[in-house]
Amino acid sequence: MEKQRLDRWLFFSRAVKSRTLAQKLIETGAIRVNSERTDKADLKVGPGDVLTMTVHSRLLVWRILDAGERRGPATEAATLYEDLSPPPVPREQQPLPLAARQPGAGRPTKKERRQIDRLRSDEGEDSED
């Protein structure tokens, strides 16, 4: 059974775009190997290990089937793991993002700001007289 560095395996499996990003993801503690949190990019992983990670706001659970030799096409990368991830939450049930707002609410448009400035300047002139 061949074992490989975790950051290298994540790069070969196309979970992340570069080894540097893989190292940063691991250092934040966002990855668990066999249910144990790790922050070491040089941790050796191999066939049979289960990775649990959050990538791009998605929970991924992958069982490693093979160590990669290179970063090949996506079809080749998909043979390195078995996806055990739970199905994604349907769009209707997902909570609204924090930045979501109703149309017309929130920051005023440029036209509305000009109108507000005109109202304020009119009020200022009345109070000075």
Report pLDDT digits (tens) over 19-36. Answer: 999 999 999 999 999 999
What is residue 33's predicted lDDT score, i.e. its pLDDT? 95
96: in domain: no
Range of the domain at 8: 4-87
More confident residue, 112 or 45: 45
Banded model confidence at residue 74, pLDDT cuts 50, 70, 90: very high
Question: What percentage of the chain reaches a pLDDT higher than 90?
Answer: 60
CATH value at residue 29: 3.10.290.10
Domain count across the chain: 1
18: in domain: yes
105: in domain: no
CB 16, CB 8: distance < 8 Å: no
